């Protein structure tokens, strides 16, 4: 907010009156102001981009909200809330998220915080062609955030069947659900891959 606008806002807060743009008469107001910033206010004060007088006027009660990556328990709640908002605005019959897409959304580090999550859910809603959001509806940066090579860690004691399933699903994520490419990476036929995926669908794994 430009310094001159900050000064006008400070005056309105202190005198509880303001004049509309182009108006001649002042209007009295009785309001409570909630303000938010995604920048460090102390740094803004040092850089003189935030006036000290309005900072102290607004900072009656300060609440510091940790980044989304530090409150992962909020992610499922926000996912469902943003999906509901999208569904109401666009009249789409999306009921939720597939288990794998939900896992990806929950483990992503969200450098853009809540706004990035909201935009991601809206994008997935637009691309979704069924009743549940799938991995293919998500941006590639979520599936392979570091652009790294595929690494699958399977705990000792995991059954062969579960190990195979994990390898297949992780490979599909890594190649952005390109089944032909996944079959090549896994060294199996495309028909075998389709049979495995149909089996996982019948087991409600995907």
- Which of 27, 58, 89 is the C-terminal boundary of a domain? 58
- Which of 92, 109, 143 is the C-terminal boundary of a domain? 143
Residues 139 and 99 in one domain: yes
The CA-atom distances, in angstroms, between 172 and each of 23, 29, 74, 158 are: 62, 58, 27, 20
**Is 149 inside a domain boundary?**
no
**Is 63 inside a domain boundary?**
no
Q: State which residues form the domain around 175.
A: 160-202
Number of domains in the chain: 3
CATH of the domain at 195: 1.10.10.60
Q: Are 168 and 132 in contact (CB under 8 A)?
A: no
Please write the tens of the pLDDT for every residue from 121-148: 999 999 999 999 999 899 988 876 554 4
Beta bridge partners, 149, equal none
pLDDT band of 182, cuts 50, 70, 90: confident
Residues 81 and 52 in one domain: no
**Residue 137 class from Cβ within 10 Å (0-12 exposed, 13-18 middle, 19+ buried)?**
buried
3-state SS, residue 127: helix
**What's residue 150's pLDDT?**
63
**Is 148 inside a domain boundary?**
no
């Amino acid at each position: 907010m430009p310094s001159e606008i900050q000064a006008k806002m400070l005056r309105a807060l202190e005198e509880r009156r303001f004049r509309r743009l182009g108006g001649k008469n002042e209007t009295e107001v009785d309001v409570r102001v909630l303000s938010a910033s995604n920048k460090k206010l102390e740094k803004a004060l040092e850089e003189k981009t935030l006036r000290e007088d309005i900072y102290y006027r607004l900072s009656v009660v300060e609440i510091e909200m940790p980044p989304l990556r530090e409150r992962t328990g909020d992610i499922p709640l926000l996912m469902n809330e943003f999906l509901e908002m999208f569904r109401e605005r666009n009249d789409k019959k999306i009921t939720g998220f597939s288990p794998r897409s939900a896992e990806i959304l929950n483990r992503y580090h969200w450098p853009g915080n809540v706004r990035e999550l909201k935009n991601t859910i809206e994008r997935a809603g637009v691309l979704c062609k069924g009743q549940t959001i799938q991995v293919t509806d998500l941006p590639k940066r979520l599936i392979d955030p570091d652009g790294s090579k595929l690494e699958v860690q399977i705990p000792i004691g995991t059954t062969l069947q579960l190990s195979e399933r994990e390898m297949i699903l992780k490979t599909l994520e890594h190649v952005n659900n390109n089944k032909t490419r996944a079959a090549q990476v896994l060294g199996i036929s495309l028909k075998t891959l389709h049979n495995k995926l149909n089996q996982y669908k019948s087991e409600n794994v995907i």
